Amino acid sequence: MSEIEDLLREDLRGQTAYGAPQLDVPVQLNTNENAFAIPDDVAAVIEEYISREIRGLNRYPDRDALALREDLAAYLGHGLTPSQVWAANGSNEILQQLLQAFGGPGRTVLGFMPSYSMHPLLARGTGTNFVDALRDADYTLSPGHVGWAIEAHDPDLVFLVSPNNPTGTALDPAVVDAAYEASRGIVVVDEAYAEFARDASSTALGRLEGRPRLVVTRTMSKAFAFAGARVGYLAADAELIEKLLLVRLPYHLSSLTQAAARGALACAPQLQAEVDELKHQRDRIVKNLRAKGLPVADSDANFVLVGGLVDAAAVWKAVLDQGVLVRDVGLPGRLRITAGTEEETTALLDAFEIVMKQEPSLFEESK
């Protein structure tokens, strides 16, 4: 062991850091980013918002991000007020703050894997014990299983993801209710992909009223094509948000980030048009791969999980050889594919067509 490794916290020794493998190929459909660049008219608005802040950068930002929270509350609707909304550098920081305030050493967060791979890592970083209560064989989650797992593990926090990553399917709202009723702790619904849902009413935002332990997290990384800006947020009870102020860095969200986010929110309708196009491409992938005989989970996100692969790693490589990068999330016989632009999606479907023809043994017999 090196001297530095020796000095490291015991629970971090021997661990490896998060990182999606990134390769320089023409079509990158592996990280669930929004395939569209920010359109020129939206970029011009964001530039204006940012440029107004530059001369005042000698001052610290509004540490409570009030103007941004007002805009986010208006965007979310459901009667939410700015005091019920909180923002940070990506929903990853939001989740980290939740764990810092309500988790930590000696406490437990319950998750249901396969799901977002950052949840266990954020738990680890905050010294929170992550317990994986797994899912059914088809990766769905039932109210009964969630209720049983909460009773068995008595967690301080529960992480649900809807639509789930990597499966893409939105949760039955009854699961959220079951988790809330069974638990005494904080119930977090990670809705990073909510804007892509087939049924807009599947969000848990409407369930916040009267449920002070319920938290809905969102991000601008996906629907707003803003992954590089790092803006995530949550909606919850105002008192719960006040407690998060105990753990946030004093000026965690820069003036430039706050301004950029407000500019993008002012252009929500333009950006929503691109979300609609990505939903269309997603549905095209689902339909097309199913027509090829491959099982594909219903998707409410900007990606799909395809199954029916004898050797997922070999299919991943064969598709990569066709110039298309998808994600091997480590699930046997399955790959995750992010919806792209129309051209990128065509390239993906063509690549699958070619690989299925050239190497049929990599695919299960279609039924």
Rg (C-alpha) for the chain, rounded Å, is: 21
Closer residue to ligand PLP, CB minimum distance, 191 or 344:
191
Closer residue to ligand PLP, CB minimum distance, 32 or 281:
32
Closer residue to ligand PLP, CB minimum distance, 169 or 219:
219
Closest distance of CB 166 from ligand PLP, Å:
8
Task: Specify whether the CB–CB gap between 292 and 266 falls below 8 A.
Answer: no
Closest distance of CB 35 from ligand PLP, Å:
14
Closest distance of CB 227 from ligand PLP, Å:
6
Closest distance of CB 16 from ligand PLP, Å:
19
Closer residue to ligand PLP, CB minimum distance, 141 or 161:
161
Closest distance of CB 299 from ligand PLP, Å:
13
Closer residue to ligand PLP, CB minimum distance, 92 or 126:
92
Closest distance of CB 165 from ligand PLP, Å:
4
Task: Specify whether the CB–CB gap between 288 and 320 falls below 8 A.
Answer: no
Q: What residues are paired with 237 via a beta bridge?
A: none
Give the whole-angstrom CA distance, residue 320 versus residue 47. 36
Closest distance of CB 191 from ligand PLP, Å:
8
Residue nearest to ligand PLP (CB): 90
**Cα 104 to the center of its chain, rounded Å:** 22
Closest distance of CB 87 from ligand PLP, Å:
11
Closer residue to ligand PLP, CB minimum distance, 301 or 349:
301
Closer residue to ligand PLP, CB minimum distance, 222 or 334:
222
User: Nearest 5°: phi and psi at 125?
Assistant: -60, -30
Please report, as ranges, the residues that interact with ligand PLP according to CB under 6 A. 32, 90-92, 116, 161, 165, 190, 192, 219, 221-222, 227, 232
Closer residue to ligand PLP, CB minimum distance, 73 or 349:
73
Closest distance of CB 186 from ligand PLP, Å:
16
Closer residue to ligand PLP, CB minimum distance, 92 or 129:
92
Closer residue to ligand PLP, CB minimum distance, 87 or 356:
87
Give the whole-angstrom CA distance, residue 69 versus residue 228. 20
Closest distance of CB 116 from ligand PLP, Å:
4
SS (H, E, C) the chain: CCHHHHHCCHHHCCCCCCCCCCCCCCEECCCCCCCCCCCHHHHHHHHHHHHHHHCCCCCCCCCCCHHHHHHHHHHHCCCCCHHHEEEECHHHHHHHHHHHHHCCCCCEEEECCCCCCHHHHHHHHCCCEEEECCCCCCCCCCHHHHHHHHHHHCCCEEEEECCCCCCCCCCCHHHHHHHHHHCCCEEEEECCCHHHCCCHHHCCHHHCCCCCCEEEEEECCCCCCCCCCCCEEEECCHHHHHHHCCCCCCCCCCHHHHHHHHHHHHCHHHHHHHHHHHHHHHHHHHHHHHHCCCCECCCCCCEEEECCECCHHHHHHHHHHCCEECECCCCCCCEEEECCCHHHHHHHHHHHHHHHHHCHHHECCCC
